[in-house]
Amino acid sequence: MRSIILVLAACTLAAPALAQAPRQEPVGCDKFKWPIERERLTLTRTDLPFIDPGQQVALPLPFGAIVALKPFAEAKLPTPPERTPKSPDSFAGFFQMPAPKAAGTYTITLSAEGWIDVVQDGHAVKSTAFSGALGCEGARKSVKFELAAAPFTVELTGVAASTVKLAIAAE
């Protein structure tokens, strides 16, 4: 009985420390939950087109681009982000995409840390999966969304720089 009490006491004391331990990010391109090689090949290209903030994009899917961002306070996002950026000094932006040819799963991959929101028909589209890793040249975060065959808006927030590379591809 005494050993059970000691174990419970030890767990009670250790729980706050475990709860506050920083999350360890995986390191390496092979640590993403799905293959991202085609996205990495796109994001490491030097000839990507440039998307201005708020631009209506005419590029067919799949594509990669460099997205220009503004300070979060100036970004004028059409929809409030699902997550408020950790730093008020971070950058944000959005662009509008034409309808994909078919409904389905689409992956949006960023070259740097940031938050990705997708809005379609005036409603936020919940991501179906996400993955990220440090130390992977060209790719930092990849998120999957189920999209209808309708125009959509991509909103980016929490990015540390005024530009970020982005790739969008169908599954």
DSSP 39: H
What does the pLDDT look like over 129-160, one tens digit per residue? 999 999 999 999 999 999 999 999 999 999 99
Residue 7's pLDDT band (cuts 50, 70, 90): very low
Helix (H, G, I), strand (E, B) or coil at 98: coil
Closest CA to 66 of 136, 167, 154, 170: 167
Q: Which amino acid is at 47?
A: D
- Cα-Cα end-to-end distance for the chain: 55
Q: Structure tokens of 1?
A: 């009985």
- Is the distance from CB of 134 to CB of 94 less than 8 angstroms? no
Quick check: 92 pLDDT over 90? yes
Q: What is the pTM of this model?
A: 0.84
- Is the distance from CB of 134 to CB of 27 less than 8 angstroms? yes
Q: Return the domain boundaries, the chain.
A: 25-170
Q: Which CATH code, of 2.40.128, 3.40.50, 3.30.1360, 2.60.120, is assigned to 25-170?
A: 2.60.120
